[in-house]
């Protein structure tokens, strides 16, 4: 057998032409297409994967008691910024599905959309355990850190960790979502990320 001297059998029979024609007929109904909305699907998929990562990350984080609310109070997770991709709802859904708690405490998930107004400042000063900067957040990381220095800071993009000294960020490269983690997140006492995550080289890049 040799590929190059073989002869492919008759290929385009009338039946196949009929089939192809049929599919093009089916296609004709689709033109023009709304290609802009296609990216939305990808963004929502990113949001779902990130929300799942966040769920796992919280499970792998340990807080010392002084950094947690009272036993009868809820632990707080604050999301900052506009959310057009369903991240907040995805995370809420995952948290409810997994009955997520932080050290036995129920969760309160707070979404602050736009400005660092008095209400936002109040919420941020109540020692939230996790602060997540959404992709379209206008909040300034340094401002938030001043208000809540003992929160686990999670955001988007490499600069969030490298430039702004955040704890964890998501990056989107090579068609995958990966994590960039600040080295100090493993070494400090609270909030402290489990060192087992640091061994996942394909998942995690540790910097600083």
Partner 1 sequence: MKTLAHSFFALFCVFANSLFGQAVGETNSSELSPFEKAELRRLLDLDFLDLSRTPVRGVLGYEQEHWKNPASVHVIRPEDISLNGHVLTVDSFRNVAGMYTTRGVGYDDFVTMRNFSGSATEKFLTMVDGREVLQLMGGTINWTTEDVPLSILDRVEIIRGPGASIWGTNAVSGVVNIVTKHSAQTQGDSVRLIIEDDGTFLGEYVHGGQISDDSFYRVWVRDQEYSEGKLISGMDARDDGYARKAGFRFDKELGSDMDFTFAGGFATRRVDHAMDLSSRLLYPTDPNYALFPNPFLPADGMGGLLPIASNDEFPFIPISVATALSLPGVPPQSKYSTWPAANGLIQPIGIPRIDHYEKMPQDGSHLRAKISGITENELEWSVAGYAEIYDTTLGHIGHSWERREYDLDFRANKPIGDFNHLAFGASYRHMSFDVNEVVTSPWAFPTVDTSIFASTFDLNKSLRTDIPILEYGGSPTKFERIAGFIQHSTDLSDQVVFSFGAKFEDSDLSGSSIQPGVRISYSLDDENIFWGAYSRANRQASLVEQYTEVSYARIWSPADKNATNPLGKEWINTSFSGSSDHDDEKMDAFELGWRTRPSDKLLLELSLYHYSTKDAVFSGPPVYTTSDVKTTGGELTFDYRASNSWHLQGGYSYSKGKKDGVKQDDFPDSMANLSSHYKIRDNLTFIQSLYYTGDRIIPSAYNPIPIDDYLRLDLGFVWQTKDNWEIGFFGRDLLDPDHPENMYNDLDVEPGRVERTFLLSITKKF
Least Cβ distance, residue 99 to partner 1 (angstroms): 9
Near partner 1 by CB under 8 A: residue from 62, 65, 98, 195: 98
For every residue of the chain, DSSP letters joined together read --STT--PPP---HHHHHHHHHHHHHHHTT-S--GGGHHHHHHHHHHHHHHHHHHHHHHTEE--GGGS--TTSPEEEEEESB-SSSHHHHHHHHHHHTT--BTTB-EEEEEE-S---HHHHHHHTT--SEEEE-TB----HHHHHHH-TTSEEEEESHHHHHTT--SEEEEEETTEEEEEEETHHHHSSSSEE-GGGGG-TTTEEEE-
Stretch 11-50 residues interacting with partner 1 (CB under 8 A): 11, 15-16, 18-20, 22-23, 25-30, 33-35, 37-42, 44-46, 48-49
Please work out the total of residues on this chain that contact partner 1, with binding judged by CB under 8 A. 65
CB nearer partner 1, residue 54 or residue 141: 54
Residues lying near partner 1 in the complex (CB under 8 A) are found at 1-3, 6-9, 11, 15-16, 18-20, 22-23, 25-30, 33-35, 37-42, 44-46, 48-49, 51-53, 55-56, 83-86, 88-90, 93-94, 97-98, 172, 174-178, 197, 199-205
């Amino acid at each position: 057998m040799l590929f190059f001297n073989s002869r492919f059998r008759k290929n385009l029979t009338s039946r196949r032409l009929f089939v192809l024609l049929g599919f093009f007929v089916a296609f004709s109904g689709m033109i023009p297409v709304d290609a802009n909305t296609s990216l939305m699907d990808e963004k929502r998929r990113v949001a779902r994967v990130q929300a799942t990562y966040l769920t796992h990350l919280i499970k792998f984080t340990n807080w010392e008691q002084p950094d947690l609310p009272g036993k009868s109070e809820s632990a707080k997770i604050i999301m900052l910024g506009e959310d057009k991709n369903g991240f907040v709802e995805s995370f809420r859904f995952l948290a409810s599905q997994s009955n997520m708690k932080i050290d036995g405490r129920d969760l309160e998930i707070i979404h602050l959309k736009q400005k660092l107004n008095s209400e936002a400042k109040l919420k941020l000063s109540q020692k939230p355990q996790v602060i997540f900067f959404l992709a379209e957040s206008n909040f300034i990381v340094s401002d938030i850190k001043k208000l809540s220095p003992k929160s686990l800071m999670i955001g988007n993009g490499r600069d969030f960790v490298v430039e702004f000294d955040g704890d964890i960020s998501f990056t989107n490269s090579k068609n995958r979502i990966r994590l960039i983690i600040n080295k100090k997140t493993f070494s400090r006492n609270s909030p402290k990320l489990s060192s087992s995550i640091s061994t996942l080289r394909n998942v995690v890049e540790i910097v600083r």
